[in-house]
Amino acid sequence: MRGELPWTNLDSLHRLSLNELLVEFKINDHFTEDEKDHLNHVWHRLQPWPDAIPGLTHLRKRFVLATLSNGNVALLVNMAKYSALPWDCILSAELVQAYKPDPRPYQMAVNLLGLRNHEVMMVAAHQEDLRAAQAQGMQAAFIPRPLERGPHNVPDFTPDPAFEVVATDFMDLAQQLGT
């Protein structure tokens, strides 16, 4: 379970994994340290899903938008800047040194936003994340991402009937929430 892992810097872990792969495939000497660093930070330059920015922009007209991720703050800031994600606030499990689904990141988000648990809606494609948020009194909106793990690894996307909202994408979520 991710919530039980010891806290560590994810960029350091990714760098270690990258170095191990480069050695394993005998291509370590083909890259400069700057090139390795650039490759290691590919996560900081991910493209958002096509519906994310328009949908989030609609949602932001009525709601405060905050990301709550197991990614570290630097990663989330870089992703937001790279893709112009319209978040009002960036929250990371790093701030409480506990990975979701540990209750502490969810509680931190509610407290830092100055809201009550039921006033916060977690939106995710990961049902275990939504269930953990609901266990903390938050609402849950499920947006399945069938291709998230590639075309050959499609998990079960049958939504939990306990979720308050099930949407096809962020535009659908915005419409269902009246924005």
For 7-49, what is the HEC assignment?
CCCHHHHHHHHHHHHHHHCCCHHHCCHHHHHHHHHHHHHCCCC
Domain locations in the chain?
A: 2-44, 48-176
Question: For residues 79 and 44, what is the distance between their CA atoms, to the nearest angstrom?
Answer: 5
Q: What is the pLDDT at residue 9?
A: 54
47-78 burial: b if 16+ Cβ within 10 Å, else e: ebeebbeebbbbbeeeeeeebbbbbbeebbeb
Q: What is the pLDDT of residue 49?
A: 94
Q: What is the mean pLDDT of the chain?
A: 90
pLDDT of 3 over the 60 cut: no
pLDDT for the residue numbered 99: 95
User: Do 66 and 122 form a contact (C-beta atoms < 8 A)?
Assistant: no
- Give the model confidence (pLDDT) of 29-66 as tens digits: 999 999 988 988 888 899 999 999 999 999 999 999 99
Confidence of residue 136 (pLDDT cuts 50, 70, 90): very high
In percent, the amount of the chain with pLDDT more than 90 equals 73
Contact in structure between 138 and 106 (CB atoms under 8 Å):
yes
pLDDT at 20: 87
Which 8-state DSSP code applies to residue 151?
T
- CA separation for the pair 110, 79 (Å, rounded): 23
* Residue 159 CB-density burial (10 A; 0-12 exposed, 13-18 middle, 19+ buried): middle
The pLDDT assigned to 7 comes to 45
Domain 48-176 class, CATH top level: alpha beta
